[in-house]
Amino acid sequence: MPTKLEVCVLAAGLGKRMKSAKPKALHTIAGRPMLAHLLDTIATLEPVAVHVVVGRGAEEVKAAFADSSVNFVHQAEQKGTGHAVMQVVPHLHPDSRLLILLGDAPLISGDTLRAMVDARCDLGVLTVEVPNPFNYGRVIRGEGDTIRAIVEERDATAEERLIREINTGVMIADSGLLPGWLDTLTTENDQKEYLLPDIVLAAQAAGLVVKAILGQDEAEARGVNNLEQLAILEDAYRRRAAREAMAAGLHLVDPARSDIRGRMEIAGDSIADINCVFEGSCRIGRDVSIGPNCVIRDSEIGDGVEIRANSVIDGAIVGPGCIVGPFARLRPGTKLAASVHVGNFVEIKKSEIGENSKANHLAYIGDAVVGADVNVGAGTITCNYDGVAKHITTIEDGVFVGSNTALVAPVTLGEKSTIAAGSTITKNVTAGSLAIARGKQTAVENWKGPRKTDD
The whole-angstrom separation of Cα 334 and Cα 368 is 9
The whole-angstrom separation of Cα 212 and Cα 246 is 32
| pLDDT reported for residue 455 | 60
Given phi > 0 = left and psi -120 to 50 = alpha, else beta, which region is 164?
A: alpha
Query: What average pLDDT is seen over the chain?
Result: 94
| pLDDT reported for residue 439 | 86
Q: Is 278 exposed, middle or buried (0-12, 13-18, 19+ CB in 10 A)?
A: buried
The whole-angstrom separation of Cα 329 and Cα 318 is 12
| pLDDT reported for residue 220 | 82
What string of DSSP letters covers 281-309?
Answer: EEEEEET-EE-TT-EEES-EE-TT-EE-T
pLDDT digits (tens, 9 = 90+) for 364-408: 999 999 999 999 999 999 999 999 999 999 999 999 999 999 999
Query: What is the separation of C-alpha 18 from the centre of its chain, rounded to a whole number of angstroms?
Result: 21
Q: Which domains does the chain have, with CATH numbers?
A: 4-221 (3.90.550.10), 250-435 (2.160.10.10)
Helix (H, G, I), strand (E, B) or coil at 157: coil
Buried/exposed code over 136-166 (b: 16+ C-beta within 10 A; e: otherwise): bbbbeeeeebebebbbbeeebeeebeebebb
Q: Which of 51, 83, 341, 361 is catalytic?
A: 361
pLDDT digits (tens, 9 = 90+) for 144-164: 888 988 888 888 899 999 999
| pLDDT reported for residue 440 | 86
The whole-angstrom separation of Cα 414 and Cα 372 is 12
The tens-digit pLDDT sequence of the chain (455 residues) is 777 999 999 999 777 888 888 999 999 999 999 999 999 999 999 999 999 999 989 999 999 999 999 999 999 888 999 999 999 999 999 899 999 999 999 999 999 999 999 999 999 999 999 888 888 889 999 888 889 888 888 888 999 999 999 999 999 999 999 999 999 999 888 778 898 988 998 998 899 999 999 988 888 878 898 999 999 999 999 999 999 999 999 999 999 999 999 899 999 999 999 999 999 999 999 999 999 999 999 999 999 999 999 999 999 999 999 999 999 999 999 999 999 999 999 999 999 999 999 999 999 999 999 999 999 999 999 999 999 999 999 999 999 999 999 999 999 999 999 999 999 999 999 999 999 999 888 899 988 888 777 66
Active site residue 37: no
- What's the predicted TM-score (pTM) here? 0.86
